[in-house]
Amino acid sequence: MEIFGVSSALLGSQLLIGLINGSFYAILSLGLAIIFGLLNIINFAHGAQYMMGAFVAWIALTKFGINYWVSLLLAPIVIGALGVVIERTMLRKLYKLDHLYGLLLTFGLALIFEGVFRDQYGISGQSYEVPELLQGGVNLGFMFVPIYRAWIVVAALTVCFGTWFMIEKTKLGSYLRAGTENPQMVQALGINVPLLITFTYGYGVALAAFAGVLAAPVYQVNPLMGSNLIIVVFAVVVIGGMGSIMGSIVTGLGLGLIEGLTRVFYPEGSAVVVFIIMVIVLLVRPAGLFGKS
Amino acid sequence: MHKNSMFARATPYLFGALFIIGLIAPFAVYPTFLMKILCFGLFACAFNLLLGFAGLLSFGHAAFLGTAGYVCGMLVRDVGVTPEVGIIGGTVAAGLLGWVFGVLAIRRTGIYFAMITLALSQMVYFLVLQIKATGGEDGLQGVPRGNLFGIIDLSNNLSMYYLVFAVFCIGFFIIYRTINSPFGEILKAIRENEPRAISLGYDVAKFKLLAFIISASLAGMAGATKTLVFQLASLTDVHWHMSGEVVLMTLLGGLGTVLGPLIGAATVVSLQTQLADSVGSWVTVIMGVIFVLCVLLFRRGIVGELQALIRRAGIR
Amino acid sequence: MQIKKLTTLACAAAFAALSGAANAQISGNTVKVGVLTDLSGTYSDLAGSGAVLATQMAIDDFIAEAKPAFKIEMVSADHQNKADIASNKAREWFEREGVDAATELVTTSTALAVMKIAKEMNRIALMSGPASTPITNEQCNDVSVHYTYDTYALANGTAKAVTKQGGDTWFFLTADYAFGQALERDSSAVVTANGGKVLGSVRHPFPASDFSSFLLQAQASGAKIIGLANAGADTTNAIKQAAEFGITPKQSLAGLLMFISDVHSLGLKNTQGMYLTTGFYWDLNDDTRTWSKRFFDKQKRMPTMVQAGQYSSVLHYLRAVQAAGSDDSAKVMAQMKKTPINDFFAKNGQIREDGRMIHDMYLVQVKKPDESKYPWDYYHVRQTIPAAEAFQPLSESRCPLIKK
């Protein structure tokens, strides 16, 4: 069967791949949205933190022989802890100021992180092997799916929905939501808001690092792997609006799929399709698809 | 005007002194280096008009610098117009692009505004990369400096310098006039309190858009001139790193001060030139560190801190 | 007008001062070589500090062999792959620091920018790192030498050999910018000329990190060979992901612009069996091994062809200065062009009128992991492509210097 001259098998496989990329968008934009919700800053260092997550996994494997599965937990903890330090020592000083300063600070941090890793590990990137358990692939008839790619979707979605559940359905999440709405009130109720903020930033950063570990075996582990990705994720965030957790997950996945389709029908446009959608959304619904204006 | 009267009185002298320094500088300092500083200085001043006086953080100003550079380069090299026409062409192109960006971006404020401009400029980057006429990765090379008004040969570094200096002065004058006009006052009012400006009956969106277009055009003027100086336009000019650099220049020099961006640009350009040889790849790291320090400790920037110092001394 | 007169006077004075010392024929009795390269970016592994080291080795070796009467100095700078920084730096070197030759110049954009300035200031540009053919075609000039390789030689060598060995159906994965498009065009022509067929191509954004969807299109085409018309991180990512999706080894990849540093970073497991063309391999013969081991002792990496070519080009330049007894660009260029190049890098290499240095190239195949016996033992040398066949013939040149 063919659709617009493209076989349905090819179409199906491209959609599947779009879903994989969408998983990365979803997990990164989710992290940005959580941080934005409580801290009101855009974490420009998100891409660098994603990159560092991948590097932690690579260093752990090559220097200490620590395997992928441990890294999947270790890297978010290490980078999350770094996030906590950043929040405590730097971001904290900026909350009373214009929120743009948070953006500028994290931009500076992103430059520092990228520069240091570039100096230490060069630019051409390091290889990270797919863990043994997830090697090989399954033939679905219309395409060959590497098991590892399938695992990315499963792992990313699990983490995304786990986060959603934590925020929407647990007590901690209710504090978080309340803190987003009205921090003074929550503080008055005896909840330690500064701690909540620190935790939130750390968690958002840890999500980026988690995505980095997921990405390590499929892309080269490379100091600049985050910086181009993050701009696309910014566009995703603008499209979705940062109002809702579920919104950012759905938008991330959806745009991955759309990008996948563009690669079949008009590959030259695949680099800009997300930005074009952003323009259209801004014209039609400036607050974003899920945003509150 | 709430401006300190001492500054107001000193300003004409200061500008006069700087003007004279600008005139004689090429005899003491390497002209190409000075031209680079002036181009980036104008770029940063244009950017500051938007961030420092209208409170709008654009993270996509590289798109204007670069687009104007490419348009000017193509006009001069491929169409064969004279340099001044090239600069005007580049400026107009940047202004038009600024209008498109502005219409879209002012629909949101604050952080969203920054992200939208960033995303739009990234789109411009990809277009420049893919279009054949721009030379893609290789950039637009071999742009002749040509003869100004068809008469003055610009391949002479000194003549070129005075053209750049003139362009800078024109741009700077426009910015200065804008800031100190009723329009500038309204911009500042919007920056301080947007709802109040709306309730006073101002069409805030229109003012923001106009500021955006002026800023974009002047950034373009800087970019077009830069292309003539270096005889090339390259992807560096449209990359988002450039957008970040102009933020750094402005922040370091002094956000919302008239001369700050020029000082910031001079500092950053000199640092990059000096550091490139001695520390190599650490340049990015050092730029990042300066960024962080500026945000955390010197939010007023060099000129802002100086002003504060003078003011304190004056009170005592 | 006044100013113009002043500068003219100043120039005249400077000229007088220079000609006063002219009996030495070498300005300031010093030859200054500038290495303008990527010390921190994408190409720092294949050129970078290794190229600076190679230059220093060339200078040391030359001093030891020729005991020249003049001094030799080296300066180096990082152009960060930006044409504007490169042009700035070159201008400053030529105008203020008396640099006689700007060398290395990896990436075409920086090379083209520096070539123009070298021409304007009448100095020399020796290019080991950049790849694109316009350097010796539309953009050629008489003060520039393109030394180590170019895209024509690589595409030609690889595409021809692979097509002749039965890889006669191709699909191109092309980086969507001028360089990638040129690489695809050149290679397609070679494939068709050798009886092969190009089934299609897909343009991917540059740079890209995810190639899976483009690779699937290549897979769907059923072509025996997937030609990678891209470079650097794009190539390495595409290779890695092709293995992941089980595309290789059923279909084979052909890297059209690859260096030993890429193979090193990807590992043999991912690259085994690939064909590529190179201007130099460290394990070719005793001469290459001796030099490369010296290089390795300092750099802890084996040299790429760019780094080896850099050594050879600087040495050849210095020998020409010595023989001509002058650092005047025209005299040195004439000397360089008439002297054949013989060292560990090239045998009977020759610089043509268009600035192209022609020498033998090598078609190599990447070894399987179990065939690799010692570190950096990466290639089977399958074929030596003689200089005359390896490069674009002068008859096809679009260089204005070539009179037809």
B130 to chain C: closest CA residue:
C177
Q: What is the ipTM of this complex?
A: 0.85
Report pLDDT for B4: 54
Residues of B in contact with A274 (CB under 8 A): 119
| Same domain, residue pair C214 and C290 | no
| Same domain, residue pair C129 and C253 | no
Residues of A in contact with B290 (CB under 8 A): 108
Check whether C23 has a pLDDT greater than 50. Answer: no
HSE-up of residue C394 (Cα within 13 Å, Cβ side) = 15
Domain range annotation of chain A:
2-284
Interface of B with C in 19-58 (CB under 8 A): 30, 32-33, 36
Q: Find the mean pLDDT for residues C246-272.
A: 88
Report pLDDT for C193: 92
On the 0-12 / 13-18 / 19+ scale of CB atoms within 10 A, C120 is middle
Check whether C5 has a pLDDT greater than 60. Answer: no
Interface of A with B in 228-257 (CB under 8 A): 231, 234-235, 237-238
A114–B contact, CB cutoff 8 A:
yes
Check whether A125 has a pLDDT greater than 80. Answer: no
Residues of B in contact with A99 (CB under 8 A): 110-111
B122 to chain A: closest CA residue:
A231
Span B120-174, pLDDT tens digits = 998 999 888 888 788 777 788 888 888 888 888 888 888 899 999 999 999 999 9
Check whether C17 has a pLDDT greater than 80. Answer: no
| Same domain, residue pair C142 and C157 | no
Size of interface A-B (CB pairs under 8 A): 113
Report pLDDT for B280: 63
A23-32, B228-237, C177-186: least confident range = C177-186
Q: Find the mean pLDDT for residues A132-138.
A: 82
Residues of A in contact with C210 (CB under 8 A): 17, 21, 218-219
Q: Give the global pTM.
A: 0.84
HSE-up of residue C74 (Cα within 13 Å, Cβ side) = 19
Q: How far apart are CA C99 and CA C90, in angstroms?
A: 9
Residues of C in contact with A125 (CB under 8 A): 233, 236, 265
- Is omega for the bond preceding C207 within 30 degrees of 0, making it cis? yes
C248: nearest Cα among C231, C272, C232, C228: C272
- Is omega for the bond preceding C249 within 30 degrees of 0, making it cis? yes
Is C385 among the domain residues? yes
Beta bridge partners of C203: C174
Is C218 among the domain residues? yes
Question: Pick from C7, C78, C82: which is nearest to B280 by CB?
Answer: C78
Inter-chain residue contact C178 with B136, CB threshold 8 Å: yes
Find the CATH number of the domain harbouring C134.
Answer: 3.40.50.2300
Instruction: Return the percentage of chain C with pLDDT > 70, whole number.
Output: 94
C232: nearest Cα among C201, C202, C265: C265
Question: Pick from A97, A99, A110: which is nearest to B111 by CB?
Answer: A99
B279–A contact, CB cutoff 8 A:
no
Residues of A in contact with B294 (CB under 8 A): 104, 108
| Same domain, residue pair C255 and C165 | yes
Q: How far apart are CA C104 and CA C312, in angstroms?
A: 11
Residues of B in contact with C82 (CB under 8 A): 234, 236
In terms of average pLDDT, the best of A81-85, B197-201, C79-83 is A81-85
Domain count along chain C? 2
Size of interface B-C (CB pairs under 8 A): 91
Question: Pick from A13, A21, A124: which is nearest to C261 by CB?
Answer: A124
Q: How confident is the model at residue C194 (pLDDT cuts 50, 70, 90)?
A: very high
Q: How confident is the model at residue A245 (pLDDT cuts 50, 70, 90)?
A: confident
Residues of B in contact with A234 (CB under 8 A): 115, 118-119
B245–C contact, CB cutoff 8 A:
no
Q: Find the mean pLDDT for residues C231-254.
A: 85
A214-218, B228-232, B309-313, C21-25: least confident range = C21-25
Span C42-78, pLDDT tens digits = 788 889 899 999 999 999 999 999 999 999 999 998 8
Report pLDDT for B109: 81
Range of the domain at C144: 29-149+286-359
Check whether B295 has a pLDDT greater than 50. Answer: yes
Average model confidence (pLDDT) for chain B? 88
Query: Residues, chain B, total?
Result: 316
Check whether C165 has a pLDDT greater than 50. Answer: yes
| Same domain, residue pair C174 and C68 | no
Report pLDDT for C128: 95
Please work out, in degrees rounded to the nearest 5, the angle formed at the alpha carbon of residue B65 by the alpha carbons of B62 and B67.
100
How many C-beta atoms surround the C-beta of residue B262 within 10 A? 26
Q: How confident is the model at residue C224 (pLDDT cuts 50, 70, 90)?
A: very high
A127 to chain C: closest CA residue:
C266
Per-residue exposure over C307-326, b if at least 16 CB sit within 10 Å of its own CB, e if not: bbbbbbbbbbbbbbbbebeb
Distances (CA, A) of C268 to C157, C196, C370: 21, 28, 9
Q: How confident is the model at residue C9 (pLDDT cuts 50, 70, 90)?
A: very low
Which string of DSSP letters, residue by residue, matches C266-312?
H-HHHHTT-EEEES--TTSSHHHHHHHHHHHHHHSSPPPHHHHHHHH
Span A65-92, pLDDT tens digits = 999 999 999 999 999 999 999 999 998 8
- The owner of tokens 């110049």 is C105
| Same domain, residue pair C253 and C366 | yes
A225–C contact, CB cutoff 8 A:
yes
Is C14 among the domain residues? no
Instruction: Return the percentage of chain B with pLDDT > 90, whole number.
Output: 40
B138–C contact, CB cutoff 8 A:
yes
Is C20 among the domain residues? no
What are the start-end ranges of the H helices in chain A?
8-39, 46-64, 68-89, 100-121, 147-169, 171-181, 183-188, 193-215, 225-240, 245-265, 273-284
| Same domain, residue pair C293 and C353 | yes
C51: nearest Cα among C143, C129, C144, C118: C129
Check whether C154 has a pLDDT greater than 60. Answer: yes
Span B88-120, pLDDT tens digits = 999 999 999 999 999 998 888 888 888 889 889
| Same domain, residue pair C239 and C375 | yes
Q: Find the mean pLDDT for residues B183-211.
A: 87
Q: How far apart are CA C274 and CA C247, in angstroms?
A: 13
State the fold for domain A2-284.
Answer: ABC transporter involved in vitamin B12 uptake, BtuC (1.10.3470)
| Same domain, residue pair C218 and C366 | yes
Q: Say if CB C131 and CB C179 are below 8 A apart.
A: yes
| Same domain, residue pair C135 and C251 | no
Q: Find the mean pLDDT for residues A179-188.
A: 79
Q: Find the mean pLDDT for residues B211-236.
A: 92
To the nearest whole Å, the CA of A228 is away from the closest chain C CA by 9
Q: How confident is the model at residue A194 (pLDDT cuts 50, 70, 90)?
A: confident
Q: How confident is the model at residue C6 (pLDDT cuts 50, 70, 90)?
A: very low
